Amino acid sequence: MIGRLNHVAIAVPDLKAAAAQYADTLGAKVGAPQDEPDHGVTVVFIELPNTKIELLYPLGEASPINGFLEKNPAGGIHHICYEVDDILAARDRLKAQGARVLGSGEPKIGAHGKPVLFLHPKDFNGTLIELEQV
C-alpha cells in the first residue's frame, strides 16, 4: 500500500539557521520558505537524491509545532511521510485495521499541493506518519 519515502520532517526552533546549516554545512539544495496556514507551519524543503527533508517551523500561536518544540526545545524528527496511490483507499484500509487517522479523517491539501492524512503515532511505534497521495 505505501510507496516510497517522500520526506522526513524535522521541527526546528530557528528556520533560517536550520536552512543555512543544510545549505552551507551539508551543501544541500534548500528551497524557499513557504507558509502553510492550513497546517500551522512554515516549511522549507531540502532536496536529496533519493528523498526530501522538510524543516517545520510554527506559523502562529495555534501551530501544532509549538507543543512539539516545548517538549523538544532543540527540535527533532516530527514525522515521516510515505506516498500512496489512493489516499481514500489507504485511509479506509487503515481504519478497518484499527489505525487512527488524526483530525477529521478527511484529507487536507499538503505542502506539495496533494492530499495528505496523518496517522496516530501510538498506532505506529511512536512515529507520526503522514500519507501523501501521488
Using only C-alpha atoms, the chain has a radius of gyration, in whole angstroms, of: 15
The sign one gets for the Cα dihedral 121, 49, 91, 39 is positive
Cα separation, 79 vs 6, in Å, equals 11
Q: Going by DSSP bridges, is the β-strand pair 52-58/115-119 parallel, antiparallel, or unpaired?
A: unpaired
Q: Across the strands, what pairs with 30?
A: 46
130 included as an active-site residue? yes
The single residue listed with the C-alpha cell 495555534 is: 62
Cα separation, 42 vs 59, in Å, equals 6
| Four-CA torsion 8, 9, 15, 21, nearest 10 degrees | -20
Q: Which of 54, 83, 130, 132 is catalytic?
A: 130
Catalytic residues, by residue number, are: 130
